[in-house]
């Protein structure tokens, strides 16, 4: 396949569907200007109007095997006549155990228990809860500046993005912030003069910050923070919702730093949410953590199982490393060519670069989608490139060609959106 846009963006069918959703969706957040058709293959998908897009967003890192992977299609056929949703906290199916068994083959040693839930935010919520139970006198949590952990109230308390609307007027868990720099250990040391270790529920960290800008910390900082939390018996949570499940070339991004957390939050590529830890971290009282739909659809569980198996069988972690290295080379070359491309960064297929202004970043997202490439922003000026793990060199080259053309068009746009339907075409920000 190849990216090909045959209509205006959004096309007439997408425009109609977007207009209805804008009118009736209480959580409207300015989505991309197309509606998926369900058709697609590999790293490409078609929208409702027949346009073909190359996907470098992977459904916000949730689609590691791309579209309609044969192994996943086989799973769907298997469950054609089976009830697909159970109240998993009270009524188990074998897929709950099978996913746990498969998950524990890739988790760090000793992390032998997990609570399956429905989303990344819920995984973080429950990570916070089990840490609070562990720290009986907890009064405060510690997270990092520019962190994003979700939009449920507990996770939102620990979130610190620049998007003020996400946190405005909501009650919050008391939270202290560390800089996401090498100064973090020093600041943590200072906070320990204000709060006793037993008063700190947890220190939570994204191994690479996601929504906050795809910021990559130094190994020195991560290792020092982990050493301090371990010494003080403060639970350390790794939020691997976006960076985990192979996105960086290792199963978990923390492996790059040779660090083992007390608790991990996983989701996205896993298809369900999971709070993962040693069994001793979890509360023993039944119902302390619970969810009617814990684990989601049976299909979600089955697809999650198969994704882990396919990544292993096809050695996709190696492809993530290989193609991630090539993508970084391409981006560095682009930065040498174009003065507007700055701060190229990333690990594996979790990569990003900055543009001089937020407006130019948003313009680039718009110009790229008009040419058949889907990318999304991060931070205030960043573009993140997070293709499926099956990406090829040829597809990376195609994406880079579109990015080059889009950069050229940003200063003098070749297209102009008309009509009131799609705000995205004015702002380019998906507000995720």
Strands in 350-354's sheet, in edge-to-edge order, are: 342-347, 350-354, 382-385, 376-378
Per-residue model confidence (pLDDT) at position 346: 97
Q: 364 with 356: CB under 8 angstroms?
A: no
Q: Please name which of 234, 137, 140 lies closest in space to residue 185, comparing C-alpha atoms.
A: 234
CA distance 51 to 414: 18
How many residues would you count in the chain?
Answer: 432
Per-residue model confidence (pLDDT) at position 418: 46
Helix H or strand E encompassing 222: helix 219-231
Query: What's the DSSP call for residue 65?
Result: T
CA 137 → CA 173, 197, 207, distances in Å? 14, 9, 27
Q: 384 with 59: CB under 8 angstroms?
A: no
On the question of a common fold for 12-55+315-427 and 76-313, the answer reads no
CB-count burial class (<10 Å; 0-12, 13-18, 19+) for 198: middle
**Phi then psi dihedrals of residue 342, to 5 deg:** -135, 160
- In a 3-state reduction of DSSP, which class is residue 69? coil
CA distance 335 to 190: 39
Per-residue model confidence (pLDDT) at position 91: 85
**Phi then psi dihedrals of residue 20, to 5 deg:** -65, -45
CA torsion angle for 101, 106, 107, 113 (degrees, to 10)? 0
Could you list the pLDDT tens digit for every one of the 432 residues in the chain? Answer: 999 999 999 999 999 999 999 999 988 788 899 999 999 999 999 999 999 999 999 999 999 999 999 999 999 998 877 667 888 778 888 999 999 999 999 999 999 999 999 999 999 999 999 999 999 889 999 999 999 999 999 999 999 987 766 777 888 899 999 999 999 999 999 999 999 999 999 999 999 999 999 999 999 999 999 999 999 999 999 999 999 999 999 999 999 999 999 999 999 999 999 999 999 999 988 888 888 888 878 999 999 999 999 999 999 999 999 999 999 999 999 999 999 999 999 999 999 999 999 999 999 999 999 999 999 999 999 999 999 999 999 999 999 999 999 999 986 544 444 444 446 665 666 555
CA 95 → CA 103, 118, 192, 295, distances in Å? 12, 15, 44, 9
Identify the bridge partners of residue 373 per DSSP, sorted by sequence position: 54
Task: Compute the radius of gyration of the chain from its Cα atoms.
Answer: 21
Task: Decide if domain 76-313 falls under CATH 3.40.50.620.
Answer: no
Task: Decide if domain 12-55+315-427 falls under CATH 3.40.250.10.
Answer: no
Strand pairing of 200-205 and 175-178?
unpaired
CA torsion angle for 274, 212, 363, 47 (degrees, to 10)? 0
Identify the bridge partners of residue 239 per DSSP, sorted by sequence position: 265
Per-residue model confidence (pLDDT) at position 87: 83
45 CB-near residues (< 8 Å, 6+ apart): 36, 37, 39, 52, 53, 55, 67
Q: Retrieve residue 200's tokens.
A: 């700190």
Q: 66 with 55: CB under 8 angstroms?
A: yes
Other residues' Cβ atoms within 10 Å of the Cβ of residue 268? 25
Q: 188 with 180: CB under 8 angstroms?
A: no
Q: Retrieve residue 46's tokens.
A: 């078609």
CB-count burial class (<10 Å; 0-12, 13-18, 19+) for 73: exposed
Per-residue model confidence (pLDDT) at position 431: 54
CA distance 330 to 338: 12
Query: Which residue ranges make up each domain of the chain?
Result: 12-55+315-427, 76-313
CA distance 376 to 360: 13
Identify the bridge partners of residue 385 per DSSP, sorted by sequence position: 351
Per-residue model confidence (pLDDT) at position 427: 64
């Amino acid at each position: 396949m190849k990216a090909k846009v045959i209509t205006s963006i959004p096309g007439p069918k997408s425009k109609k569907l977007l207009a209805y959703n804008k009118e009736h969706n209480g959580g409207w957040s300015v989505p991309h200007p197309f509606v998926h058709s369900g058709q697609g293959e590999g790293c490409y998908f078609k929208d409702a109007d027949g346009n073909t897009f190359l996907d470098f967003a992977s459904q916000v890192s949730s689609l590691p095997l791309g579209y309609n992977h044969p192994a996943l299609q086989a799973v769907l056929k298997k469950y054609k006549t089976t009830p697909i949703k159970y109240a998993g906290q009270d009524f188990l199916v074998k897929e709950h155990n099978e996913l746990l068994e498969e998950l524990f083959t890739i988790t760090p040693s000793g992390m032998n228990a997990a609570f399956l839930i429905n989303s990344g935010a819920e995984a973080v919520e429950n990570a916070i809860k089990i840490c609070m139970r562990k720290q009986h006198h907890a009064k405060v949590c510690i997270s990092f500046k520019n962190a994003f952990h979700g939009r449920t109230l507990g996770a939102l308390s620990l979130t610190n993005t620049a998007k003020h609307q996400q946190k405005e007027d909501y009650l919050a868990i008391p939270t202290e912030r560390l800089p996401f720099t090498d100064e973090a250990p020093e600041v943590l040391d200072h906070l320990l003069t204000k709060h006793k270790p037993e008063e700190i529920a947890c220190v939570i960290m994204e191994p690479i910050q996601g929504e906050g800008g795809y910021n990559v910390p130094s190994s020195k900082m991560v290792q020092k923070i982990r050493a301090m939390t371990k010494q003080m018996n403060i639970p350390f949570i790794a939020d691997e919702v976006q960076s985990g499940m192979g996105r960086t070339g290792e199963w978990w991004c923390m492996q790059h730093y040779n660090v083992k957390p007390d608790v991990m939050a996983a989701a996205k590529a896993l298809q369900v949410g999971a709070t993962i830890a040693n069994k001793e971290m979890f509360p023993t009282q039944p119902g302390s953590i619970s969810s009617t739909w814990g684990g989601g659809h049976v299909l979600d569980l089955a697809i999650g199982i198969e994704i882990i198996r396919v990544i292993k069988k096809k050695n996709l972690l190696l492809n993530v490393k290989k193609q991630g290295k090539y993508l970084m080379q391409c981006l560095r070359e682009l930065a040498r060519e174009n003065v507007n491309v700055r701060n190229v960064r990333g690990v594996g297929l979790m990569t990003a670069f900055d543009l001089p202004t937020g407006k130019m970043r948003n313009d680039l997202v718009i110009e790229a989608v008009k040419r058949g490439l889907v990318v999304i922003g991060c931070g205030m000026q960043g573009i993140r490139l997070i293709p499926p793990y099956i990406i090829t060199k040829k597809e990376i080259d195609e994406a880079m060609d579109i990015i080059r053309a889009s950069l050229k068009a940003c200063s003098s746009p070749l297209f102009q959106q008309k009509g009131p339907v799609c705000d995205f075409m004015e702002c380019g920000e998906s507000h995720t």
